[in-house]
Amino acid sequence: MLKEKEYLGNIAEQCISKSNKLGSTDVSVMVMHSVSEDVSVRNRKLDGSTRSENLGIRLTTYIGKKKSTISSSDLNTKNLDGLINRCIESTKITPEDDLNSLADKELYFKGDKDLDLYDETVLENKKKIEYINEAEEEAFSRKDIVNTNGSGFSQNKSNFILANSSGFSDGYKTSQFTAYCEVVSKNNGSMERDYEYSSKRFFNDILKPKQLGSKAAELALKKLNPKKIKSEKLNIIFDKRIAKGFLSSFSSAISSSSFSKGTTFLKDKLNKKIFGDKINIQDKADIKKANGSRYFDIEGVKTSPLDLVKDGALNDLLIDTYNGKKIKKKSNGRASGSSNLYFLNGDLSFEELLNSNKKLLYITETIGRGSNIITGDYSVGASGLMVENGEFSYPVSEITIAGNLNNIYKNISLANDLEFNYSTNSPTMLVEGMIVGGK
């Protein structure tokens, strides 16, 4: 059972009051409670079951322009008193920084909470196990699926209160239901693995068990008996779940922290073209039921929708209060990072991407982090499928794909098949003229 708002709020109020009495000029406190239940299954047999409960606090105190933060998972009164004392004493000996402050009051969230981020559904372990067993059973019904690498189901519920000495106090519950199925295929001495994954705020929105198992099997079977290819320059199509990785590196590159330090290859590109004219990127925190949706960031600032890239030009950044001051811009509610970050749909169908060249490489898996946001260099190990004359012809493995994000961004074309399956999402993506390292 989750701790309710009143309980969490009382602890937050006590911390603010006691901190002020001890000399703090400003205080911010977050009190969080989460409950997570997980089951893991292997070959249709229970492989593990865990339940974890976390109750914690993060306290930040200011004395003028001095700032210190401390965290604890022990919320009894005696420990909280000691925690507050330690935080105040730490703040006193911390060097001053003129940029330290709470967020501006006028930026705080004040709206209605209507995003449907919490599902009351509570699944017993038996139901979780049945779900995964059904998924694995479906996968094993396919010829050449011989094993599983482990499958699982998790149910997570959380509640929190964020409060500060400027009068902000708010919080809300969230839920997440996640299922995955990872299977092994085997044929003629070749063994491959792949998975399918589904995670949603509401239980009824995740993939049905048979869909999960069927897709995992299909992906693993397609990888059997891969070929090695020679090094060459090719147009590459990135599967949606791989294409979204380009947005993850993009979000790091456009954080106000990276801009203020100059540690991004995009540091001089604000209001300049970095993509082709048809590329648009949004970060939208107010999509109902979406995995990345939220009302405000960890500073209490409202997370309004952002047009980060418009018609190919870098239009905005992900800005928090501290680093925003460094670059002379107000926070836009991204102290917690991006929310629901996505490329808008392109104007090509998936089939048109496949038929855009006689020979293409379709990437379904990458290995390694890949992107250096300081230089823009991109290099990953990869595997996928060769596409010839618009048809998938044979699987490919043990290759490296490389380029520089400055060039990659300018050569992107997008399909019109965007789905909101994650907090970061992309349609299927085509990148022209990438270097493929093979045998």
pLDDT (tens digit per residue) in 332-368 = 999 999 999 999 999 999 999 999 999 999 999 999 8
Provide the CATH number for the domain formed by 5-35+48-107 in this structure. Answer: 3.30.2290.10
Q: Residue 251: helix, strand or coil by DSSP?
A: helix
Q: How many distinct helices (H) and strands (E) make up the chain?
A: 9, 18
Domains 5-35+48-107 and 125-160+172-222 share a fold: yes
What's the distance, Cα to Cα, between the start and end of the chain in Å? Answer: 56
| Neighbouring-strand partners of residue 366 | 382
Angle between helices 5-21 and 77-92 (to 10 degrees): 40
CB neighbour list of residue 17: distance below 8 Å, 6 or more residues apart: none
Alpha-carbon separation of residue 73 from 5, 57, 111, 130 (angstroms): 17, 6, 30, 34
CB neighbour list of residue 262: distance below 8 Å, 6 or more residues apart: none
**Positions in the chain whose pLDDT score sits under 50:** none
* pLDDT at residue 189, rounded to an integer: 87
Measured distance CA(200)–CA(155) in Å, rounded? 10
Give me 285's structure tokens.
């925190």
The answer to whether 354 and 415 have CB atoms below 8 angstroms apart is no
Domain boundaries, the chain: 5-35+48-107, 125-160+172-222, 226-439
Give me 326's structure tokens.
């460094």
Burial 97-119 (b: 16+ CB within 10 A, else e): eeebbbbeeebbbeeeeebebbb
Residue type, 300: G
Provide the CATH number for the domain formed by 125-160+172-222 in this structure. Answer: 3.30.2290.10
Q: Quick one: which of 326, 208, 186, 213 has its CA closest to 267?
A: 326
Measured distance CA(360)–CA(363) in Å, rounded? 10
Residue 53: count of CB within 10 angstroms of its CB:
12
Give me 49's structure tokens.
């079951």
Which residue in the block uniquely carries the two structure tokens 């070959």? 43
Q: Quick one: which of 318, 298, 297, 302 has its CA closest to 108?
A: 302
Q: Quick one: which of 343, 335, 333, 337 has its CA closest to 308?
A: 343
Which residue in the block uniquely carries the two structure tokens 């074309």? 413
Residue 238: count of CB within 10 angstroms of its CB:
26
CB neighbour list of residue 77: distance below 8 Å, 6 or more residues apart: none
Q: Is the pTM of this model over 0.85?
A: yes
